[in-house]
Every structure is written in structure tokens, then in C-alpha cells.
A and B are shown apart, each in its own frame.
Chain A
Amino acid sequence: MPEEKLKSIDKATVELIDKAERENISTVFSRADELKPCPIGVEESCCKICSMGPCRLPRPKKGEGKVRVGVCGATIETIVARNFARKVAAGAAAHSDHAREVVQTFIKTARGEAQGFTIKDEIKLLAVALDFGIAVEGREIGDIARELGEKALNEFGRQEGELVNIGKAPLKRQELWRKLGVTPRGVDREIVEIMHRTHMGVDQDYRHLLQQASRAALADGWGGSMISTDLQDIMFGTPVPVLGSINLGVLKEDHVNVVVHGHEPLLPELLVVASRDPEIRRLAEKTGAKGINLAGMCCSANEILMRHGIPCAGNFLQQELALVTGAVELMTVDVQCEMQGLQSVAECFHTRLITTSDRAMIEGATHIEFHPEDGLDTAKKILKMAIENYPNRRHAVYIPDARQDMVVGFSHETINYLLGGLFRASYRPLNDNIMNGRIRGVAGVVGCNNVRTPHDSGHIAMIKELIKNDVIVLTTGCAAMACGKEGLLTPEAAKLYGGSGLAEVCEAVGIPPVLHLGSCVDNSRILMAATAMVKEGGLGDDISDLPAAGAAPEWMSEKAISIGQYFVASGVYTVFGTTWPTAGSEKVTRHLFEEYEELYKGMWAFEPDPVQAAQLMIRHIDKKRKALGIDKARDRVLFDMAMRRALD
């Protein structure tokens, strides 16, 4: 009998996959067994943008001289590049439409029209207002916020010029973008232009198509995503270190369990407020429950975890399994990464699935739309529905005994503070420790789970290899949650898994070797941390000079492609796992993997083995250390008193 494929490295996940199988409940894991990926689609060698197709262009057979083209004559390069650019457009659109929703709510908050929302972080408001050239001296907070909201909204529809946040990047990078013609003008414009240029019979030069992909991706990273992060911080607070816990064991048998799933933190923030309302608590107790237990899932989880320490039930591949426990009264979903399969799992139990965004409905689910004007009332209504549903549990509840503590909340501002204190905040200690070799380099490991690779395995194997080799890791999204479950987000992890140099620095500063920076839009925090390192000095003049690399070992969504593309265009060597979406064309792949190094000083790579991928990243880090002349360890030894006296 063939050995069964490992589905997850997380015990709780495996337990619930088994439970689902025993009870004949369809989940992403069982569906993936039944539905194999299409071999042509996996290489992106098909085009279906016009009805003369779909045109399938598999690789030519050995010895086949004929060059295959589509009915219109489109080459495989054009088809693959078009598909890639469309992925970037979809990913950038997802992050940026999230941002638009945040900005619109921000404007309503500034006008006092958003129920339950306030300006929580005045410091960040002042800083972001300065970015936008807004006068702050002597002005009321509400007044500054109103002007900022309007200016931020203009970034989406801007037609000419440059996005404001481009000015935050290292000067050398800004010059390079201008030279390459990829400085984004407006967020929406760059995305729309991809959709136009990839329409049948428009842009048919793969290099030119991928240039626009960079422009749209940069409009995501330095535009939409960064605007989201900044304005969310202003409304809900910039993350500071906080203790949280993670995994399916955060669900509580004797509580009303409400799982908040999706991406936009607007309604989740109000659910946090409403769950603490004495009236809601009393109602929950009346039904015999001990209280309300709010838990997060995917990036909504990251947002409320980072700001309030609300427990996180799990990452992307655990969404259906949370319902398989039979303990979830209600799950809210807004936008992105919500599987339609949730509804059929919910129907096997008493669980109510609630869609809350005007942009996303799921057939069969109940739709309760969130609007900032009465957001708190909506949050209370949803919690009351969950409470009413508590007595309807009809299955025996099974919650795996799996819950791990973690320290989260490392915004780029908090890292700056932890390294130097409030008034001497600085990235200098980090740069110094990179220069003296205690820390070898920095890696950003981010992104999704993908059912085609054992759940969490890629993240954990890669990150353990990196920290063992003294590379400090910044993480976001589902990758960060995988780290949390494995215990890598605790200061103790430095000693357990880190190389001696990295462990020493982490111990001295009191930080984990893997820093959780937030949700997927918070990858913009990694861009800011990298920029601070460049500007601090000693590690070159551009992000591409840093001993740094990026990775998404378990990516699956189009958002990940957009993130990867803006990291690469910002000068970061970026390695992806699972599959590679330009595999159908050698020329396009060579352009992204090799020619990009010449153009952007950063390039893509693909390596499905996470340890090998980590080794590629370490080799790149060492190459950059050599270029900076810091490849020979110039270690300082911390002397004790006797050694100091002996020096005399």
C-alpha cells in the first residue's frame, strides 16, 4: 500500500483532518486528493482571454522543431507574461481595495461619522500627515485626519506624478525606478493598465508586460498596502509587543466561540469592543456559556492579535477545521482567502457563516453587511446571533489540546524602539550586529499555506534553517502563524533554534529570533524596516545592498505574486516554493530570475525544497556581505571584569 502523504506538520490539524474524514466532511485536504492540478495550467501555458481559444501551448516535445503559438499568433512568452501580470493585477487590486475601504472608513472616523472608531494613535497620524505634506502645527487632530483621509484617497485615482509613499524609499531606489519607468502614478491606474495591456491583441512583448507588472506591484507595496497599514495603525494603534496564543486549542468548549476570518480589521475591531460589553457577556452567561470567546483566522486574526492579543485559531488551511471541532457558533468572513467550502462544513454543524463585506457573498451564508456608520450595532447583532446559536450545538465537541503562547506586535517603529529606547531609537544596533557578523542577515518569510505542500512544513523548515544560520527572520501572514504554532515567536526560541550569534543578540534585546510584523498588507512594514536599515548607514545605499532575502515557501494566492514582485522590484532576492507560475516559458523565467538582477538588483528564484531555498537565501546574503566587505567576521567579545583588568 502506498504510504499516505503527510498533510500537515501540526498535530491538531492532522487530528481534525482525520475527524473530518471519519465523518465524511469534505475539506480542502480531501478535495485536493480528488482534484489534481492541471499540468498545462500549472505552467501557465494556456490562454483563455478570447473566444478563439482557449489556446493550450504545452512545451514542445523533444525534437519537435515547430514553435507553438496561439490562434492569434501569441507566443508562449506573451501568454505566460500576460498570465503573470494578471496575477499581479489581481493581487494588487485585493490589497488596494482593502486599503480603499480603510481610507473611506478613516474619513468617516475623522468626520465623527463612524460608530465606535476613533483616532487611537496620534503620533502615527502626525507622522503620516507629514509624509503627505500636511501642516500639523497648531491644528486639531480631527482636522489633520480629515485632510489626510482625502489626500490618501487621491492616491488611488491619481493619473500622473508619483505616489506619495515612493518618497519614503531609499533615494537610490527611487532614482532606479524612475530610470526603469516603473514609478507608480496612481494605484488604480497601474492595475487598470495591466488589464488593458493583457487584453487580446495589445501588449505582446513579455519584457514590456512585466515592466507594467512591476509598476502595479510597487503601487501595491508602497501604495495600497502601505496606506492600509498606516491608516489602520492610526485608527487602531501601532502594534507594540503583546502576548498572544495560537492554534485550534484556543477555542473553548464552555464558551460561545466566534471566529473572525478574512482580512479587513474594521469589523473585527468592533467585535473586540462588543465582546467586552457587559450586556453581551450577560446574554452569553444566560445561555449557560461561561462567556464569549473571540478568535481570529488568517490575516483578520493577525490584525486583532497584534493590537489586542486576541487568540488566533489558525492559518489558511485550518479555516474549515475550526468548524470541524463542532465548537464554533459563528464565523464572520469579509474578503480574501475564504474558501467557499466553509459553507458546506458549516452546514454539517450548527455553525452560522456570516458574510460581512458588500464585495463578497457566499451562496447559502447569511449576509450582514458592515457599514462604519453603525458598525458597533452590527458587531453586537452578530455576537447576539452567536449567543443564540450556542444551545444549538448538535454534535459532540472536539477541540484538540493545542495552544502555543507567542510574543507579537513588532511594527517597524517598535523594532526601532526596542533596539535603542524611546529617545535613542535606532536601527544602529541591528546594523552593527550585521556588520560584526553576529547576525548574518535578514530574511522576510511571508505568505500563505498551500494544500499541495504539507501544511506549515515549508515555513518551519525554511525558518529553522535560516535562524540556525544566524539570519533574523521578519514574518507576516500565514507564515507568521506557522511560526507561532511551532514556538518560534518566543524569546526562548533564540536559544533553542538560533545560531549562537543571533541567539546572543536576541537574548540581549529580549526579542524572538522570528519577529511577527502582522498581516499581508503589513509586508509594507518590512519595506520600511529595510529602508531604515539602509538609511541608518553602513550597509550600502539601497535595499538591494542589504544582506537580505525574501521568501514565500507555501504561496498560493495572486496576492503573494504581487508581494513577491514588489519585493523583487524593491531590490530583494525572493524565493518562492510550491510551483512556479512562468514555468511554461524559459525566456520569461530567465527574465525574472536573471535579467531582473541587472535591472532591479533583485530577482526571483524558485525552489520547492524549503531547506535548499533557505540555503539559496543564505548564499545571496553572503554574496551581499562580501560586496559590502563584511564577509570576514569582525566579532567583538563581551569581556567580563577579570578579562577587562587583564587588558590593563
Chain B
Amino acid sequence: MDQIDKIDQIDQIGGKMSDYQYEEKEDFSGKKVKVLGPTYEEGKPDERGDWRSKLGSREDALRYIRTALRYWYSKEWYGSEKRKQEA
């Protein structure tokens, strides 16, 4: 499968490219290009975006802390500081 077909397939799963809005803008060299427009939902949220309630069990919470908050809580990975840790 070539790259374009792969992208097409992803588009079919995640929503057609034609569903998105495009806008014409200038790129850094001044050339006109079409770029993806707003992808967020119109209107105002009427409920709290309570993503934290999706974490149910203690295990989920600890996994989230060690992965999502890896900057402080992962034993192996400290991003830019990894290089400075002794092996």
C-alpha cells in the first residue's frame, strides 16, 4: 500500500478529508498553500470537560501518573534529562 492509500484509509476511518474546512494561507516562503481550518466543535461547552473521571481504578490512576506525568513520575524516562542520568 503506498503512502497516499494509507492516508486515504486513515481518512475513511477518522472522517473524510472533505468534511474538513481548508483555508488559504501563506507559508513561511510566501507561497499560497491550503491549510486545515478549525477542527474544534462550534459553540460553547455546556459541561465540564472532566477527563479525569475517565480514570477509574487505582491501577488506572497510577498508570496515568507514571505515563502521562512521566516528567516527574517515570523511573526510566525523564525526557531531556535522560541523557544526564547515569546508566
Contacts and interface: CB of A to CB of B under 8 A. Distances in A.
Contacts of A424: 68
Given A240-B48, A242-B48, A535-B71, A123 B65 contact: yes
Nearest to B46: A243
B14 interface: no
B76 interface: no
B64 A123 contact: yes
Interface residues of B, number: 46
Contacts of A638: 33, 35-36
Given A127-B65, A405-B44, A534-B80, A508 B39 contact: yes
Interface in A629-644: 633, 635, 637-641, 643-644
Nearest to B40: A510
A423 B69 contact: no
Interface in B1-37: 2-4, 7-8, 11, 17, 22, 25, 27-28, 33-37
Contacts, number: 142
A422 B81 contact: no
Contact of A507 (B39, B58, B61): B39
A510 B67 contact: no
B4 A422 contact: no
Contacts of A538: 80
A476 interface: no
Interface string A129-140: 011000010000
Contacts of B78: 171, 535
B4 A240 contact: no
B34 A640 contact: yes
A423 B52 contact: no
A507 B37 contact: yes
Q: Which of A123, A136, A240, A536 has the most CB atoms of chain B within a 10 A radius of its CB?
A: A123
Contacts of A422: 51, 54-55, 64, 68
Given A640-B17, A643-B34, A423 B64 contact: yes
Contact of A536 (B44, B58, B71, B73): B71
Nearest to B41: A510
A170 B51 CA distance: 27
A541 B62 contact: no
B49 A136 contact: no
Interface string A95-130: 000000000000000000000000001110011001
A510 B39 contact: yes
Contacts of B67: 423, 425
A414 interface: yes
A403 to B, nearest CB: 13
A437 interface: yes
Nearest to B78: A535
Contact of B79 (A126, A130, A168, A536): A536
Nearest to B54: A422
A125 to B, nearest CB: 9
Contacts of B81: 170-172, 535, 541
Given A238-B52, A405-B44, A535-B71, A641 B17 contact: yes
Given A126-B65, A405-B44, A507-B37, A417 B51 contact: yes
A522 to B, nearest CB: 17
B19 to A, nearest CB: 12
A168 B72 contact: yes
Given A437-B28, A535-B79, A413 B69 contact: yes
A414 B51 contact: yes
Contact of B48 (A241, A437, A536, A640): A241
Contacts of B55: 123, 422
A535 B65 contact: no
B62 to A, nearest CB: 6
Interface string A513-553: 00000000000000000011011111111000000000000
B50 interface: yes
A351 B14 CA distance: 56
Interface string A60-78: 0000000000000000000
A301 B71 CA distance: 31
A123 B61 contact: yes
A309 interface: yes
A500 B25 contact: yes
Interface of B: 2-4, 7-8, 11, 17, 22, 25, 27-28, 33-41, 44-46, 48-52, 54-55, 58, 61-62, 64-65, 67-69, 71-73, 78-81, 84
Given A126-B58, A422-B55, A635-B28, 11 more contacts: A123-B55, A127-B73, A423-B67, A504-B25, A507-B40, A532-B71, A534-B80, A535-B81, A541-B80, A633-B28, A643-B33
Closest 8 CB pairs of A and B: A510-B40, A425-B68, A537-B80, A241-B49, A535-B79, A535-B71, A507-B38, A537-B79
10 contacts: A170-B81, A241-B45, A241-B48, A243-B44, A413-B69, A414-B51, A425-B64, A425-B68, A507-B40, A648-B2
